Structure 1
Amino acid sequence: NELFAGISQIDTGVTTVMDVSQIHHSPEHSDAAIEGLADAGRRAVFGYFEGHGDRSQYPQDARRIKQQYFSSDDQLLTMVMGGEIYLPGYETSWAIGRELGLPIALHVVGTFGMAGTFDQLAEAGEFGEDNIFIHMTGMSDMAWQRAADAGAHVSLAVPIEMHMRHGTPPIQKALDLGMTTSLSSDVECTMTADPFTQMRGLITLQRMFVNEAALSGAQDYPALMQCADALRHATIDGAKGLKLDRVTGSLTPGKAADIVLLDAEALNVAPLNNAAGAVVTLMERTNVDTVLVAGRPRKWQGQVVGFDIARLRSELTASRDYLFETAGVEQDLFAL
C-alpha cells in the first residue's frame, strides 16, 4: 500500500508528501511504512501516528524511529509526530514530539467533537510554529486567532472535507488570517490524491463563497482566488508547512531539483494562454510528462521508471482480497 500509493502519486506529479500513517500497531508496522516510503524514492515526511493492539508502541517508539531512520535532515525522508487530540494521553505525544524537535500534526474536525479540547489547548498557549492542523473545520474564532498568532500551519483537504461531512472547508478563514495554507488529499481510498483535483476543489469553493456574497448584494467581500494562488498552496506553501521550503517547493537556485514537467501541448490544454491557469483548471494526470526528485527521474516521458508495476499491482490485489476475506466482506464491484 505505502509503496504503490507513492508510485501513484509520483505518476500524478507529487514530488513531496506528508504521510499520515495511522497503522502503527507494532514497531514492525512502523519499519515497513518507512521502507515503503523510501522505496518509492520521492521526498516524504513520515507521520508517526497511532496504532491499535497490545503490540503498539506509540508514542514512545518515536525515539527509536527518530534515532534509527531520521538522525539527519539531509535526506529525502524526514519525520513528523502525530498528536491526535481525540486520543487519550495526547499530551504525551505532543511532549515527545517537542522533545525530539519534530513538527506535530493532527486532524482537527469539529464534527468529531474536537472543538472543546482544541479551545483548551489554544487558551493554554500550547500552539506553536511546529503545529500542522489538518482540516480545521468547526473551530472557534478564538482558537483560529491563537493558531494564527502562533504561526501554526493549516492543511485543507477540500474535496474530502465536503465529501465526508467534516464541515465547510475554512479556506476563507485561513486566508483572512494570513495563515500559510497547504493542500491535503487526506485519504485516497475515498478520493483521488492527484494535486489537480485538490487545486480545483480549493479555487472553485473559494470562488463560490465570493460569488455568492456578490450575488447576494454584499458590498464588501473577499477577492477571488487566482490560479497562481492555488498553485502556490500546492507547492511552496506545502513545503513551508513541512519545514522543507529551504530545500524544495520552488524553482530556486540552491534548492533540490524536485521538478515536474507538464505537457502544455496536449489536447486538453492547447493552445496555451496562461501557465498557472492551464495547470490549475485544465490539466490532470496524463499531462504529467516527467517527474524529478532530487534530480533523479521518477517518471520519464509519461511513464514511471524503476518499478515492476504489474508485480506490485498483483501483490496489492492479493492483499485486498485477504483483507476482505478475513473481515467477511463480500466484494461487489457494482454496489450502490
Structure 2
Amino acid sequence: MTPPKIAPPSGSAPPAGLTRKAFLGLSASAAAAAAFAPQAMAQTPKPAASPRGPARRTLIRGADLLTMDPLNKELQATDVLIENGKIAAIGKRLPAGDAEVIEARGMILMPGMIDGHRHMWHGLDAGRIVKAEPNAYAKGYIGWQRRTMACMTPEDNYLAELIGGLQAIDAGVTTVLDYAHGQPTEEKALAAARGVKDSGVAGWFTFQLGRATAFGPGSTISTARVHADLNTTTETNWKTVERLQKELFSDSNGLLQLGLAPSNATGRAVAEVRKEWERARATGVKMIAAHVHKTAQPQPAGTIGHRGSGIVDLHEAGLLGPDYHASHGNRLTDDELKMLRDTGGMLCATVVGEFPYMMTPHLMASAHGRARHAGVATGIGIDVNSVLQQDYFEHVRCAFLSLFLEPEGREIVRNYKSEDSLDFATALGARAVRLGDVTGSLTVGKRADLVLLRTDRIGFAMLGSLADRVMNFASQADVDSVWVAGKARKRHGKMLGVDWAKLKAQQVAAQQRIGPQQASITFTT
C-alpha cells in the first residue's frame, strides 16, 4: 500500500505553529502540549489523569494476580490498591473508600514489562529496511543508521521518541532502557530526551557519547571519517550531558533517568577507555551501558577486546561494576559471565534481533539463558524497533524458543517453567536495569506499573497456571489497561489521550522527507 501523500515540512522546520527556538526552549510538558496535543475523539475514553498529572487512588477489584513475586506467586480473585503511584495493598475485599474501582474479575493483572535495550529513535523510519531480507539488511543497516541520524531534525527525534514510548506502553511495556545512539548534536539529544520523557514511559534515557556527523544531505564523505566521528567522544558530547542533567534529569526520583553509553571501547587503549568511563561515572549517572560482542579477531594487546569480548580487559582495568549494563553479549564465556555476576553487572539479550547472528560463527545464539543460569541479572529487549514487531509477548516467547538453538541452551531450558521465561521481562528484567527494588513484580510498596489482560479472546487459553496462560497465549491485543506509576495510560484497549492517526501522519511526513535526503548522501571507501 502506497503511503498517503502528505506535504512534508522543510528539512529543519519544527511542528506547525512552533518556532525552532520555542520548541527547543520549552519545558517538556509545554513542548508536548504545543506540538502534539491530541485531538478529541468521540470514541476515545478520557484519561483519569494526564501522563504528567497526579495519579488517582485506584482499586483493581477481583483480578487474578500473576505477581512474579516468589512469596505470592499467583493469587486468584484478589484486589490491588494503588495509592500515591505505588501498590499500597494486596488482598481480598479491600475497602474502596474514595478510590476509582476497576472491576477486573476474570482478567489477569501482571507487572508492567521491562525492555532492557531499545533504540527508540529508529522507529521513525520503520520499514525502510527489514530483517526479512537478511543479505540486504546486513549490507545496508549501518549505512541506513548513519544516514538517518544525519538527516533527522531535532523535531524528528522528539517525534520518534514520543511515538516509541507510547508504543511501548501500548504493548504493556512500562520500563525501557532507551539506548539513544542516534543524536549527534545537542539539539537532537535534548529533543529526543524530551520526547521519551513526554511519552510517560519509565526507565533510562541512555545517551551515547562519541556521536558526531560531519555530513548531511548531499554530502560525499569517506566511511573512515564517518566511523571516526561516530566513535570519538568530544567536549561537545560532555556539554550535551551537562545540559541533559540540568534541563531534563535533575530529579533523582523521576520516572525516567539519565544513563550514559561511552564510545565504543573495542580496539581502544585501556587507559583511554578508563579515562572516559571515570569521567562518565563522575557525572553521577547510575547506568553505564555498552554494546558487547565477541570480536571476530583479537584486538592488539593493551586494548579492549584483546581477549574475547573485552569483558576480561574491562574487569582487569577495574571498570566493571553494578552500574555496568551489557547489551547482547553473544558467546560470552562462562568466565566472562562470572565476572559480570561477581561485579553486579547486568546483561540484556535482544533475542529476535539476534536471530541473524546465527549466520556469524563468532556470535551465534543469544546469551540470556546462560547468563541467567550463571546468576547474572538478565533481561531481554526489542533492539531495532524499526524492523521488529511491537508485540512484546512475542519477544518473550522468542526468548524461550531461542534457547533451543544450541546444546547448552537446550540443557538449561529443559527444566524451565513458564514463569522462568516471563522472569526475563518482569522481576529479573527489572533487576537487569537496576530497578529490581522499584518495579517488576506485584509487591506492596513497589511502583504501580501494572498491565491488566482480558482473557475473553477465543485464542486465550483458560486452563493452566496464570504464567502458562500469559507466556503461551497472551498478545498485545489482550492488553486492556496499563498503569505507569499508578497513572492510567491505557483503558479498555485504547491509549488515553493519544491520537494515533495524527502521530502516524507526522511520521509518514518525516519519512517522505528523509528518504530522498538519505539517498543523496554518498559514503566512499
Q: What CA RMSD, in Å, does the superposition of the two structures yield over aligned residues? A: 2.5
> How far, CA to CA, are the matches of 1:101 and 1:87 in structure 2?
26
Superposed, 1:65-80 pairs within 5 Å as: 65-80=244-259
Match for residue 400 of structure 2?
203
What amino acid maps onto 1:151 in structure 2?
A: G
Q: Which residue of 1 aligns with 2:181?
A: 22
In 2, are the aligned partners of 1:59 and 1:96 still within 8 Å (CA)? no
In structure 1, distance between residues paired with 2:474 and 2:296: 34
- Residues 183-332 of structure 1: matches in 2 within 5 Å? 183-207=380-404, 209=406, 223-328=414-519
Q: Distance in 2 between matches of 1:78 and 1:29?
A: 18
Q: Unpaired segments of 5 or more residues in structure 1? A: 215-220, 330-336
Deviates more, 1:224-233 or 1:161-170: 161-170
| Matched residue, 1:172 | 369
Match of 1:99 among 265, 282, 289: 282
Task: Measure, in 2, the Cα distance between the counterparts of 1:212 and 1:64.
Answer: 44
Q: Does 1:85 align with 2:265?
A: yes
Give the aligned residue type for 1:305. L
- Displacement after TM superposition at 1:34 (Å): 1.1
SS of alignment partner, residue 354 of structure 2: helix
CA displacement 1:255-293 (0-9 Å, x = unmatched) = 221110011221111324321111111111101111111
Q: Which one-letter code corresponds to 2:184 in the other structure? A: H
Deviation at 1:106? 0.7
Identity within the alignment, %: 28
Match for residue 379 of structure 2?
Answer: 182
Q: Which of 111, 119, 124 is the matching residue for 2:312?
A: 119
The CA deviation string for residues 179-205 of structure 1, in whole angstroms up to 9 with x for no partner, is 111111111122224321221111112
Q: 2:237 & 2:496 partners in 1: Cα distance?
A: 35
**Could you tell which deviates more after superposition, 241-250 or 83-92?**
83-92
Equivalent pair of 1:59/1:93 in contact (CA under 8 Å)? no
Match of 1:130 among 323, 334, 337: 323
The residue type paired with residue 94 of structure 1 is: W
Q: CA deviation at 1:243?
A: 2.1
User: Could you report, residue by residue, the CA deviation over 1:232-257 in whole angstroms, capped at 9, with x for unpaired residues?
Assistant: 11012222222222322111112221
Separation of aligned partners in 2, 1:79 and 1:87: 27
- 2:474 alignment partner, SS class: coil
Question: Which structure would you say has the larger Rg?
Answer: 2
Q: Distance in 2 between matches of 1:307 and 1:277?
A: 32
Q: Name the CA distance, whole Å, in 2 between partners of 1:192 and 1:87.
A: 34
Q: Is 1:47 the equivalent of 2:189?
A: no
- Write the letter of the residue equivalent to 2:196: L
Letter of the aligned partner of 1:64 in structure 2?
R
* Amino acid paired to 2:258: M
Counterpart of 1:334? none
CA shift in 2, pair 1:173/1:112, >3 Å:
same
Question: Residues 140-188 of structure 1, C-alpha deviation per residue, up to 9 Å, x if partnerless?
Answer: 4432222221111111111111135552112332133111111111111
- Please report how far the alpha carbon of residue 93 of structure 1 lies from its aligned counterpart in structure 2 after TM superposition: 4.0
Structure 1 residues 222 and 159, CA gap change in structure 2 (3 angstroms): closer
Shift of 1:59: 4.2
Q: Secondary structure at the match of 1:136?
A: strand
For the Cα contact (< 8 Å) 1:206–1:224, is it kept in 2?
A: no
Measured in 2, the distance between the counterparts of 1:9 and 1:112 equals 34
Q: Whole-Å Cα distance in 2 between the matches of residues 25 and 212 of structure 1?
A: 39
Following the alignment from structure 1 to structure 2, what is the Cα–Cα distance between the partners of residues 194 and 93? 37
1:31: which partner in 2?
A: 190
> Does structure 1 conserve the Cα–Cα contact (< 8 Å) formed by 2:171 and 2:392?
yes
Q: Quote the offset at 1:136 in angstroms.
A: 0.7
Partner SS for 1:108: strand
- TM-score normalised over the length of structure 2: 0.57
What TM-score do the two structures reach when normalised by structure 1?
0.87
Q: Distance in 1 between matches of 2:267 and 2:394?
A: 31
Whether contact under 8 Å (1:185, 1:194) holds in the other structure is no
For 1:299 and 1:267, the matched residues in 2 are separated by: 22
- CA displacement, residues 102-133 of structure 1 (integer Å, 9 cap, x when unaligned): 21011112256653533321232321111011
| Higher relative contact order, structure no. (Cα contacts within 8 Å, ≥ 6 residues apart) | 2
Q: SS state of the match for residue 307, structure 1? A: coil
